[in-house]
């Protein structure tokens, strides 16, 4: 069997690291167009004036859609840019990666949140202009640079860090599903032992440091625990999902996006519900299920459908979610055996019931 693992070319992390962006990006070219989340435009503008490389700024429109990719590609062509930079959250970064691919240019990724595992991957998740999942765009190479300023992450609302923990929480379980079934990762081949080892390290890091990292972020302090969770959310989860493989948690996330109330919630928050549902679907040991529910409760991740806006979701709506999660080509089919929409529906219901049961028990204590 041939196994394959893939990685970004260069990963830089630490408090104040954004000041190194011009120096690091200059290794890739001399004229850059940066796709920037509007909330960090002032910080990006200050860095862009450092002088080691010309960096023009373009405000991100909000969705990683085909329309936004084409709009920004046109701006890059007009600028004659030879480097694309993405600065912001997951969708802005995915857009930058897709633009760089369309133009055949290197890309530098600067996540300002540790909210998803998107930064390191050779993957962009494409949505409709309205925010519903559309498709995965698998790219031929990983980012040339990923640069994470831990202080910027610490200064962001804690919800983003927690959402990133929700995304990272799925990594080990989905990679384990792929290992058991022999399913392919994003390269089309199974992952190697490195990928599965990193996926497990991701999970262990979250359990060991997640609560302390949340407290550090609430205090806007960069601590060793926060650094480790940022790395778990960004690098370990990125390497684990991409080289280990995906299964049901992300497929259920994609199904949840068909219900409009979920659009107000972050990717990792919905993935957390997907992970809890996956545990039920694959009949993980009761002690492990309890451990994961306990972690979610401790750091503030959703544990019920109500937590992602679906308190009033009907069975018919949840069956729509399950059907989309089981669509042909979806990653849920990386689970060993045949997975049906009815099984997924039942798993979502079971996870929600367990979350409600635990909440009622805690309230009574």
127 assigned to a ligand binding site: yes
204 assigned to a ligand binding site: no
Lookup: tokens for 155: 């200064």
Tally of CB atoms within 10 A around 157: 12
**Spatial distance between the Cα atoms of 199 and 201, rounded to a whole number of angstroms:** 5
**Spatial distance between the Cα atoms of 365 and 1, rounded to a whole number of angstroms:** 53
Catalytic residue (one of 144, 149, 167, 352)? 167
121 assigned to a ligand binding site: yes
Catalytic residue (one of 209, 250, 307, 352)? 250
Please state, in angstroms and as integers, the Cα–Cα distance from residue 248 to each residue in 113, 187, 231, 254, following that order: 25, 18, 23, 10
201 assigned to a ligand binding site: no
80 assigned to a ligand binding site: no
91 assigned to a ligand binding site: yes
93 assigned to a ligand binding site: yes
How is the chain split among helix, strand and coil, in percent rounded to 5? 60, 10, 30
250 assigned to a ligand binding site: yes
112 assigned to a ligand binding site: yes
Lookup: tokens for 211: 């609560």
Q: Please enumerate, as own/partner, the contacts of 98-101 that have beta carbons within 8 Å and a separation of 24 or more.
A: 98/64, 98/69, 98/124, 98/126, 98/137, 98/139, 99/33, 99/35, 99/69, 99/72, 99/73, 101/137, 101/139, 101/140
* CA 69 from centroid of its chain's CA atoms: 19
**Spatial distance between the Cα atoms of 327 and 8, rounded to a whole number of angstroms:** 30
Burial of 210 (0-12, 13-18, 19+ CB in 10 A): buried
Considering only CA atoms, which of 29, 90, 81, 86 is closest in space to residue 63? 90
115 assigned to a ligand binding site: yes
288 assigned to a ligand binding site: no
188 assigned to a ligand binding site: no
253 labelled catalytic? yes
57 assigned to a ligand binding site: no
What are phi and psi for residue 233, nearest 5 degrees?
-65, -35
Half-sphere exposure of 304 (CA within 13 A, CB side): 13
360 labelled catalytic? no
Considering only CA atoms, which of 256, 275, 262, 145 is closest in space to residue 202? 275
215 assigned to a ligand binding site: no
Catalytic residue (one of 144, 149, 177, 267)? 267
Catalytic residue (one of 253, 307, 333, 352)? 253
Considering only CA atoms, which of 283, 254, 264 is closest in space to residue 351? 283
For CA atoms 336, 341, 342, 348, the dihedral sign is: positive
Task: Give catalytic residue positions.
Answer: 167, 250, 253, 267
Q: Known binding site for glycerol: residues? A: 117, 167, 250, 267
Q: Known binding site for NAD(+): residues? A: 37, 90-94, 112-115, 121, 123, 127
Q: Known binding site: residues? A: 37, 90-94, 112-115, 117, 121, 123, 127, 167, 250, 267
């Amino acid at each position: 069997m041939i196994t394959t693992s893939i990685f970004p070319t260069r990963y830089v992390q630490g408090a104040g690291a954004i000041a190194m962006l011009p120096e690091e990006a200059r290794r890739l070219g001399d004229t850059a167009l940066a796709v920037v989340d509007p909330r960090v435009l002032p910080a990006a503008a200050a860095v862009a004036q450092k002088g080691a490389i010309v960096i023009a700024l373009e405000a991100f429109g909000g969705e990683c859609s085909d329309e936004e990719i084409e709009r920004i590609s046109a701006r890059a062509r007009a600028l004659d840019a030879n480097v694309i930079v993405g600065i912001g959250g997951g969708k802005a970064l995915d857009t930058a990666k897709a633009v760089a691919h369309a133009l055949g240019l290197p890309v530098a990724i600067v996540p300002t949140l540790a909210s998803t595992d998107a930064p390191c991957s050779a993957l962009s998740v494409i949505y409709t202009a309205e925010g519903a999942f559309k498709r995965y765009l698998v790219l031929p190479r990983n980012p040339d640079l990923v640069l994470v300023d831990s202080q910027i992450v610490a200064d962001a609302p804690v919800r983003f860090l927690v959402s990133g923990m929700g995304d990272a929480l799925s990594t080990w379980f989905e990679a384990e599903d792929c290992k058991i079934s022999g399913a392919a990762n994003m390269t089309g081949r199974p992952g190697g032992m490195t990928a599965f080892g990193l996926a497990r390290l991701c999970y262990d890091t979250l359990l060991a440091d997640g609560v302390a990292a949340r407290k550090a972020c609430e205090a806007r302090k960069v601590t060793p625990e926060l650094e480790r969770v940022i790395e778990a959310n960004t690098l370990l989860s990125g390497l684990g999902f991409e080289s280990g493989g995906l299964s049901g948690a992300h497929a259920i996330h994609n199904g949840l996006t068909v219900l409009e109330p979920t659009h107000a919630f972050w990717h990792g928050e919905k993935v957390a519900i997907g992970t809890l549902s996956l545990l039920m679907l694959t009949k993980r040991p009761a002690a492990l299920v309890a451990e994961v529910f306990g972690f979610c409760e401790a750091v503030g991740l959703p544990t019920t459908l109500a937590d992602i806006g679906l308190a009033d979701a009907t069975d018919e709506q949840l069956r729509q979610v399950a059907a989309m999660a089981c669509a042909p080509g979806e990653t849920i089919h990386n689970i060993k055996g045949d997975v049906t929409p009815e099984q997924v529906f039942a798993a979502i219901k079971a996870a929600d019931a367990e979350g409600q049961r635990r909440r009622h028990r805690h309230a009574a204590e």
